[in-house]
A and B are shown apart, each in its own frame.
Chain A
Amino acid sequence: MRITDHPILQFEKGPKVTFTFDGQQLEGYEGEPIAAALHAAGIRTLSHSHVKKRPRGFFCAIGACSSCLMTVDGVPNVRVCVEKLRAGMRVETQQGKGVLR
């Protein structure tokens, strides 16, 4: 899903890093939003609604709608559309409202 050539834009990326999504090892670029790295890996379901458990993806990408909350390195309710990827991050699908450990 990555754009390799574009008529107008060039994308400056940080170094390539690995991280995990629900235990699965994935690659992304340091500094890009976690959601962008997941998307590039074909993962679009980020969270689930609390009552009906319906799948949710991202919507606004500016940290304003709460559709993308995940647990990152044990911290629940992280907006992955604006949280930057770092090497070794543990990204997990969140159960319900999440718990603070």
Chain B
Amino acid sequence: MINTQIAVIGGGPAGLRAAVAAAQLGAQVLLLDESDHLGGQLIKQTHKFFGSQQQFAGSRGIAIAKKLEAAARSQENIAILQEATVLGIYEDGVLLAEHKGRVIKVRAQRIIVAVGACERMLAFPNNDLPGVYGAGAVQTLMNVHGVRPGRRVLMVGAGNIGLIVTYQLLQAGVEVAAIVEAAPTIGGYLVHAAKVRRAGVPIYTSHTIKEAHGEEAVEGATIWQLDANRQPVAGTERHFAVDVICLAVGLSPLSDLLWQAGCQMKYVPELGGTVAVRDAHLCTSNPRIYVAGDVAGVEEASSAMVEGQLAGLSAALSLGLGGKEAQEQLAEAKAQLSALRAGPVGEKIRAGLAWVEKGVTADA
């Protein structure tokens, strides 16, 4: 049994920041991550980030990951356990993890869950054929392992992820036949859209995928147009010979651990799926468990980092660590989050949060 004051599950931007914030207040922290690298989603991202200056806007995701990792490694009171998959969180605050083929037990006074999100599927005939890949998987394969996912790709989704991964595919020498987007307008930033258009990739808005073709693997795809009521219009089909269909239609929080731990959960479409109900300090219905980052609601790296900071501070403060300065940092983190979510882009997130922060009810 390993004893620690705070266990952080997940070493992405949210978890790394949470660990550092708590450790700076003097907490003994154990960070567990299932992979062999730290940085979570960031390590696949070769593009320069948008977001706020405080959260390294203008740097590439891979560079941000290195900085966050260095900050965590320089804190003596943070122990890091990689290749450790947390399997369950139990009533007595003990969590079980699989570490290199062995099961280990960790007893923690506070647990911060920062496990991120997983790619969403889309329903269409033959969507189970090999070659239908999530955008995150395509990124991992080509940006981390240096293997092309295929020769010619149809991208589904013109949000930031769809646009960015398209560009990354082109950089890796893979052809992108087209991007389809069900909405009448492009969801991602126009700079990214302009970049892929300049590279000659057509973007079909108000279109969706009708079906994939192939026996053993994807050999092609048919798309069709959607009318104003988002109903497909027969006769508008277009066919593409592609060997990969890349889905960039959003992420869903990886909520399994929180369900298993018995936290009160709520389905909030604005946040990407089922998330834990929590208070403004990111504490769930279980006073021992906090959430931060994409698992608390799919947003972006900058908000994940600030949420990590907030959860780390709150968890340490709840253990009686930190003083007036920590309270000020907490207020500062909250102000930063509001600033990130201000304006029209944050409208959806604000609506979702209003719903989920309503307070932890007694029937949990």
Contacts and interface: CB of A to CB of B under 8 A. Distances in A.
Contact of A7 (B36, B130, B171): B171
B148 A36 contact: no
Contacts of A64: 118, 254
Contact of A46 (B130, B132, B137, B150): B130
A21 interface: no
A54 B216 CA distance: 8
Interface residues of B, number: 34
A47 B142 CA distance: 21
B137 A9 contact: no
B173 interface: yes
Contacts of A6: 146, 171-172
Interface string B49-92: 00000000000100000000000000000000000010000000
B129 interface: yes
Nearest to B172: A3
Interface in B212-240: 216-217
A36 B145 contact: yes
A59 B46 contact: no
Interface string B146-178: 111110000000000000000000011100000
A82 B118 CA distance: 14
A34 B315 CA distance: 38
A81 interface: yes
A55 B146 contact: no
Interface of A: 1-3, 6-9, 11, 13, 32-33, 36, 39-40, 44-46, 49, 54-65, 81-82, 84
